[in-house]
């Protein structure tokens, strides 16, 4: 046992300072896969950015499980100073599930990266570095909600590291780094608990593990440990493999035992198939009884060890990825728009390739396309040309699936993104490699880098037609597949279920008569044609939540002046709109709410089951939720002229 002055030091609350709660959220649910995923994801995406030139990122994940737990005596030097604070919080109204660290064994997880640079930067820096100056050490240990990542980099140590604390029952973690820049070995810890009071002193949520070196304005200054004997004891206690290699080892104490070897294997396979196959990543997953190495060479070998459904999905995605990585022949598509906004039209698809592409698709071969996209600042300046690739494979074993989106080898799930059009009877992969478009999409990503958000602080109002670009990329695989299926002459009626496009129709505000009889079906949202004019509809209707969403169709030729939205439950006979009764629902009241909020529009009038909105911008969007999900919903959205 090491006898040192190192301990956990809490920060007293200074009078006059704002009282704040910890930003550490309840990140995990009881689902073990969901627990494992953010932990693995945060480790990999940040480590990929720290890889030394020419190196493959090698990541080791160790889970102690029950068998590898550490006795309280072994852990005591690393939790010194914590128990009085934990005990005080246990007796409060904000009590968490806190272990008794003085009497309970400690399960733990270790995530180590190799082939990386370690946490560079001055450990004596206490304030945010000047713009343009990188200090990964500062952002990892002394900052919260800040990042010094620049364009083209995947993760943000100052932001996403919250997942490590959230994975611990004591809401804390250790970071042990060996730095390539100077060879220094540094160890510190971070912890975030609720606000609490102990022996008359009020404490902020923050605690730091290390050596106390005085204080500044009442705040303790804690420095990292560098004593070789102490570091050796730390490595032994928590089963670290790192000895002299540059990189970062994160230890999550009291991690619980819900995450199993198979869970970790499945998360790495599903989330990082592309990076594994590209050779950018190698992952070793280890428990006291098992060890598995995943890389490009062993990729297919261990698929039998995960669930059958995930394995089948990963095999298909791996097939698409290999085509993308091998530079398979692509069709060059050209979205046309004189204004610079990306949109599809007949000229986007090369006529000479139609028969060949359709034949390839029907034969079960992968069909690939390359798509250029203009990226410019909000004022239209600094124009750059980015691009992305679409890879589609016919797969009749699936009905409808979402495309997978890869941004610079990172899987962006877009799970919570509304209106992601599915592909029908196929699998699709959209790949955005390094460049202007990848930089733009990264700005739109949430803290976990799992979704492209149009209202992200780093994205909103920064780019010209930014929201349209996201819609364009997200919907590209479905649009490409529609072209392939149309040209094959065997269009699947189910293909358009998720694209409720409506024909262009200009009309005075008046009741709408559907031109086709809606078909009954369980809980569907259907779009009703509003006229005979051909061409892309100015509006798209999509099912969303317990209702629907109406937005401008990026493929439409002109931005309409206004839209009339009429809603009704489907009926077996007759016009559903004429059959509407106030007992069915009342728009904007009685449980039916406008959600998400109206954007780029103004409500002009409301009559029974119809609403009219003036369209004030190309990002017009309005949604409604709160309908009976056991009944089919029929929605008509038509361009209209407002009588003055």
Enter the tokens of residue 289.
């009884």
* Angle, CA of 365, 369 and 375, to the nearest 5°: 160
At 358, list the tokens.
Answer: 């359709």
Q: Which two three-digit tokens encode residue 558?
A: 């002109």
Question: Do 114 and 60 form a contact (C-beta atoms < 8 A)?
Answer: yes
Task: Map tokens 């970071």 to a residue.
Answer: 175
4 burial (CB, 10 Å; 0-12 / 13-18 / 19+) is middle
Measured in whole angstroms, how far is the alpha carbon of residue 642 from the centre of its chain?
40
H or E segment to which residue 437 belongs: helix 436-443
Q: Is the dihedral of CA 127, 128, 133, 134 positive or negative?
A: positive
Tokens linked to 465: 């037609």
The alpha helices in 279-363, defined as continuous H runs, are 308-325, 354-363
Summarised one tens digit per residue, pLDDT across range 172-182 is 999 999 999 99
Q: pLDDT exceeding 90 applies to what percent of the chain?
A: 35
Residue pair 429/303 in contact (Cβ under 8 Å)? The answer is no
Other C-beta atoms closer than 10 Å to the C-beta of 339 total 12
Element (H, E) at 286: strand 281-286
Regions of the chain with pLDDT less than 50: 25-34, 150-159, 487-522, 528-534
Q: What digits encode the pLDDT tens for the residues 483-510?
A: 888 644 343 333 333 333 333 333 333 3
Cα–Cα dist 167/249, whole Å: 15
> What's the pLDDT score for residue 509?
36
Of 538, 540, 535, whose CA–CA distance to 498 is shortest? Answer: 540
Tokens 């809401």 found at: 171
Residue 568 structure tokens: 């009704």
**DSSP category for residue 204:** E
- DSSP states of 385-418 as a string? EEEEEEEEEE-TT-SEEPPEEEETTEEE--TT-T
What is the spatial distance between Cα 279 and Cα 326, in angstroms, rounded to a whole number?
12
CA dist 511 and 515 (Å) reads 13
Helices 466-488 and 436-443 sit at what angle, rounded to 10 degrees?
120
Q: What pLDDT shows up at residue 147? A: 58
Residue 589 DSSP code:
B
Residue 524 has a pLDDT of 54
DSSP summary character for residue 157 = H
Domains of the chain: 7-302 (3.30.565.10), 320-490 (no CATH), 500-641 (2.60.40)
| Residue 487 near residue 430 (C-beta atoms within 8 A) | no
pLDDT of residue 530: 36
């Amino acid at each position: 046992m090491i006898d040192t002055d190192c301990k956990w030091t809490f920060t007293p609350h200074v009078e006059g300072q704002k009282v704040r709660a910890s930003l550490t959220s309840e990140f995990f649910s009881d689902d073990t896969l969901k627990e494992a995923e953010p932990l693995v994801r945060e480790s990999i995406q940040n480590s990929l950015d720290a890889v030394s030139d020419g190196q493959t990122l090698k990541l080791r994940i160790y889970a102690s499980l029950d068998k590898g737990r550490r006795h309280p005596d072994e852990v005591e030097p690393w939790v010194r100073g914590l128990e009085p604070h934990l005990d005080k919080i246990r007796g409060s109204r904000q009590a968490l599930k806190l272990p008794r660290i003085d009497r309970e064994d400690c399960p733990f997880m270790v995530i180590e990266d190799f082939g990386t640079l370690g946490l560079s930067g001055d450990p004596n820096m206490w304030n945010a570095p000047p713009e343009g100056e990188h200090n990964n050490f500062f952002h990892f240990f002394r900052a919260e909600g800040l990042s010094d990542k620049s364009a083209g980099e995947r993760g943000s140590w100052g932001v996403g590291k919250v997942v490590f604390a959230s994975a611990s029952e004591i809401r804390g973690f250790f970071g042990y780094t060996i730095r390539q820049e100077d060879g220094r070995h540094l160890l510190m810890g971070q912890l975030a608990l609720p606000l609490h009071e102990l022996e008359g002193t009020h404490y902020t949520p923050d605690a730091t593990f290390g050596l106390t070196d005085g204080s500044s304005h009442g705040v303790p200054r804690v420095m990292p440990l560098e004593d070789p004997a102490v570091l050796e004891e730390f490595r032994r206690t928590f089963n670290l493999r790192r000895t002299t290699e540059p990189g970062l080892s994160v230890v999550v104490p009291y991690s619980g035992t819900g995450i199993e070897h198979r869970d970790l294997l499945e998360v790495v396979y599903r989330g990082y198939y592309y990076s594994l196959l590209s050779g950018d990543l190698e992952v070793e997953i280890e428990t006291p009884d098992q060890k598995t190495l995943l890389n490009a060479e062993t990729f297919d070998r261990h698929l039998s060890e995960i669930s059958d459904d995930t394995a089948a999905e990963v095999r298909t995605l791996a097939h698409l990825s290999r085509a993308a990585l091998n530079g398979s022949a692509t069709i060059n598509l050209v979205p046309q728009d004189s204004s610079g906004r990306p949109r599809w039209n007949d000229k986007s698809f090369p006529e000479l390739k139609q028969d060949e592409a359709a034949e390839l698709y029907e034969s079960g071969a992968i069909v690939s396309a390359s798509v250029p996209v203009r990226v410019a600042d909000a004022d239209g300046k600094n124009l750059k040309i980015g691009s992305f690739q679409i890879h589609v494979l016919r797969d009749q074993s699936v009905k409808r699936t979402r495309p997978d989106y890869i941004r610079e080898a990172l899987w962006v799930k877009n799970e919570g993104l509304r209106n992601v059009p599915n592909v029908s009877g196929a699998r699709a992969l959209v790949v955005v490699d390094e460049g202007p478009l990848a930089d733009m999409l990264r700005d739109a990503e949430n803290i976990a880098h799992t979704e492209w958000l149009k209202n992200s602080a780093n994205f909103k109002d920064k780019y010209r037609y930014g929201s349209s670009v996201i819609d364009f990329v997200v919907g590209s695989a479905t649009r490409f597949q529609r072209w392939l299926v149309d040209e094959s002459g065997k269009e699947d009626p189910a293909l358009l279920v998720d694209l409720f496009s409506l024909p262009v129709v200009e009309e005075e505000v008046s009741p709408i008569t559907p031109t086709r009889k809606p078909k009954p079906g369980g809980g569907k949202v259907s779009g009703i044609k509003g006229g005979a004019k051909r061409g892309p509809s100015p509006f798209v209707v999509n099912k969303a939540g317990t209702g629907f969403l109406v937005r401008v169709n990026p493929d439409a030729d002109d931005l309409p002046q206004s839209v009339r939205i009429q809603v009704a439950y489907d009926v077996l006979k007759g016009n559903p709109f004429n059959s509407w009764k106030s007992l069915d629902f009342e728009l904007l009241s009685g449980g039916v709410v406008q959600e998400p909020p109206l954007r780029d529009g103004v409500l002009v009038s409301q009559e029974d089951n119809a609403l009219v909105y003036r369209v004030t911008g190309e990002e017009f969007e309005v949604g409604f939720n709160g309908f009976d999900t056991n009944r089919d919903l029929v929605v008509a959205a038509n361009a209209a002229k407002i009588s003055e």
